[in-house]
Amino acid sequence: MDISLRLPDAFNGAILIAIALILSFLGLNAVGVSALSSKSSESPIRRDLLLAYFIALGIGLHNMGEGLSIGAAYAIGEVALGAFLILGFTIHNVTEGIAIIAPLKRGIAIRHIAYLGLLAGAPTIFGTLIGGFTLSDLWALIFLSIGAGAIFQVVYEVFLFLSERGNFILELSNRRNLLGLFLGFAAMYTTGLLIPS
């Protein structure tokens, strides 16, 4: 929100945040509904694979904002901060990788794992380049808002995925799921400790 206050009044930062966030959420939702309801997704394995790609796309858009902050840190000469951001985001992204492969069944070709990794990770490079070469509050605000909308969409899709399998609360209470949630919160907390505010 601090970024929106630094923008000229003509951009109306708060409205820009809302627009980018809502459009990224709804845009990803439209793509997901279209892909997951197509005739080719009738097979359960195909549907699970499409969902994994969809989650990777949402996380990739979110990671573009992370790359932007890394590039911006290097652009202003904060090399130590840039290194801490890379380390923190690496730890944080381990949990995102688990979220991507969670819907997959056994027997998925290794090439799909590589494609999913590229889809989720390559936007970080793109964001880093933009953050490093065009230090701009406007771009930062747009990318971070798109990333937030994308993450909301990923959470929504994971919620729907778990709801389809039965009672969401019972699924969440499963020991493995609860352990994954705990480890995710622990990784998020650790990331917060490693990255200076």
12 dihedral zone (left: phi>0; alpha: psi -120 to 50; beta): left
167 vs 124, residue with greater confidence: 124
pLDDT digits (tens, 9 = 90+) for 142-170: 777 877 787 787 778 777 776 766 665 66
Measured distance CA(4)–CA(134) in Å, rounded: 17
Instruction: Find the mean pLDDT for residues 6-10.
Output: 70
Does this model's pTM top 0.75? My answer is no
C-beta of residue 71 within 8 angstroms of C-beta of residue 85: no
Q: Residue 8: what are its φ and ψ, rounded to 5°?
A: -60, 150
- The answer to whether residue 136 scores a pLDDT higher than 70 is yes
Q: What pLDDT does 118 receive?
A: 92
Query: What proportion of the chain, given as a percentage, has pLDDT over 70?
Result: 78
Q: DSSP letters of the chain?
A: -HHHHHS-GGG-HHHHHHHHHHHHHHHHHHHHHHHHTSGGG-SHHHHHHHHHHHHHHHHHHHHHHHHHHHHHHHHTT-HHHHHHHHHHHHHHHHHHHHHHHTTPPTT--HHHHHHHHHHHHHHHHHHHHHHHH---HHHHHHHHHHHHHHHHHHHHHHHHHHHHTS-HHHHHHSHHHHHHHHHHHHHHHHHHHHS--
Name every residue whose Cβ is closer than 8 Å to that of residue 166 and which is 6 or more positions away in sequence.
none
Summarised one tens digit per residue, pLDDT across range 29-72 is: 787 666 666 655 455 557 778 888 888 888 888 888 788 878 87
**Size of the chain, expressed as the number of residues it contains:** 197
Cα 90 to Cα 101: distance, rounded to the nearest angstrom: 17
Q: What's the chain's average pLDDT?
A: 76
| Per-residue pLDDT tens over the stretch 71-94 | 877 877 777 777 877 877 777 777
11-19 mean pLDDT: 80
pLDDT score, position 65: 78
| pLDDT value of position 68 | 81
- Evaluated on CA atoms 148, 188, 194, 93, the torsion sign reads negative
Q: What is the pLDDT of residue 165?
A: 64
Contact 21, 146 (CB under 8 A): yes
